[in-house]
Amino acid sequence: MEKAKERDGFRIAAVVLAAAIVLVCAGGVFLLVRSQETKGASAQTEGKTETLKAIEPGEGETKLVKSISVSASGSSKEADSKKPKEDADKEDKNKEDKNKDYILPASNTKLLTSSDIAGLSLKELNYAKNEIYARHGRKFDSNELRTYFESKSWYEGKYSAADFDANYSARLLSDTERKNAEFLKNAEYAMSGGGYQLDQ
C-alpha cells in the first residue's frame, strides 16, 4: 500500500514537473514572438521616418509630409504603394542606362542574328566583338580599344590580351559568347575584307 502511495506521489510530481516545463516553454515562446513583433514594428517606423526626412525639404511639401506622417502611425498605404513603383522605375532606369553602355547588351545571353547587327558600322562590329571579351576582363593592346572600354562603367581590365587569349577565353566565355564573337568577326570581315583597322 505504501508503495502504491509512493508511486502515485511520483506520478503527481512528474505531472506537476511536466506542466511547469510546458508553462515555462510557452512563456518563452510568447516573449520571443512578442519581442519579434516589437522589433518589426520599430523597424517599420524607422523606415517611415527616413522616408519622411527625404520628403521634408520644401515649404510647399508641408501638407504632403503631414498626411504621410499621419498615415505612418496607422497604415501607410500611400507611401507603401508608391515605393514599389519607384523601386521598379529606378531599376528600369538603371537597366536602361547600363544597356546604353553596350553596343549589343544581349551578346552574352542570346545568339545574335543579322537583324541584331543591321545598321552597325564596321567600327561598331569590331567594338561589339571585343565587348564580349571586355565583359570578362580582357585588356587591350590597342590604344583605341583600351580608351573606349575604360570609359565604360562596367569594364574592369584583369587579364593581359595574351594571357586572356591563351588561358582564359576558353574557360570564361560561354558557348553563346564564342559563337557571337565568331559571328561578329565574320560580319566585320564580310563588310571589309581586312576588317576594321584599329588605332588609325
Residue 75 lies in a domain: yes
Q: Each residue's pLDDT tens digit in the chain (200 positions)?
A: 666 666 666 677 666 666 667 666 566 656 665 666 655 554 444 444 444 344 444 444 444 444 444 444 444 455 555 667 777 666 655 555 556 799 999 999 999 999 999 999 999 999 999 999 999 999 999 999 999 999 999 999 999 999 999 999 999 999 999 999 999 999 999 999 899 999 98
Predicted confidence at residue 25, as pLDDT, reads 57
Residue 104 lies in a domain: no
Q: Give yes or no: residues 121 and 54 share one domain.
A: no
**Domain boundary residue among 99, 134, 169?**
99
Compute the distance between CA of residue 20 and CA of residue 27 in angstroms, rounded to an integer: 11
Q: Give yes or no: residues 6 and 95 share one domain.
A: yes
Predicted confidence at residue 58, as pLDDT, reads 47
Q: Give yes or no: residues 93 and 130 share one domain.
A: no
Residue 197 lies in a domain: no
User: C-alpha grid cell for residue 48?
Assistant: 517611415
Q: Give yes or no: residues 9 and 94 share one domain.
A: yes
Residue 196 lies in a domain: no
Residue 109 lies in a domain: no
**How many CB atoms lie under 10 A from the CB of residue 59?**
5
Q: Give yes or no: residues 174 and 87 share one domain.
A: no
What are the residues whose beta carbons fall under 8 Å from the beta carbon of 122, sequence distance 6 or more? Answer: 188, 191, 192, 195, 196
Q: Give yes or no: residues 92 and 9 share one domain.
A: yes
Residue 63 lies in a domain: yes
Predicted confidence at residue 115, as pLDDT, reads 97
**The model's pTM:** 0.54
What are the residues whose beta carbons fall under 8 Å from the beta carbon of 128, sequence distance 6 or more? Answer: 103, 104, 107, 117, 120, 184
Domain of 126, CATH number, reads 1.20.58.1690
Q: Give yes or no: residues 90 and 123 share one domain.
A: no
Query: How many separate domains does the chain show?
Result: 2
Predicted confidence at residue 116, as pLDDT, reads 97
Q: Give yes or no: residues 84 and 143 share one domain.
A: no
Q: Give yes or no: residues 6 and 92 share one domain.
A: yes
Using N-to-C axis directions, what is the helix angle for 143-150 and 122-134, rounded to 10°?
70
Compute the distance between CA of residue 57 and CA of residue 181 in angstroms, rounded to an integer: 51
Q: Give yes or no: residues 135 and 178 share one domain.
A: yes
User: C-alpha grid cell for residue 8?
Assistant: 502515485
Smallest CA-to-CA distance from 141 within 162, 168, 127, 155 is with 162
Q: Give yes or no: residues 157 and 118 share one domain.
A: yes
Q: Which domain covers residue 181, as residue numbers? A: 114-191
Q: Give yes or no: residues 179 and 91 share one domain.
A: no
Predicted confidence at residue 97, as pLDDT, reads 55
Residue 200 lies in a domain: no
Strand partners of residue 138: 159
Residue 182 lies in a domain: yes
**Domain boundary residue among 68, 99, 130?**
99
The SS3 call for residue 138 is strand
Q: Count the helix, strand and coil residues of the chain and give each as a percent rounded to the nearest 5.
A: 75, 0, 25
Rg of the chain in Å (alpha carbons): 33
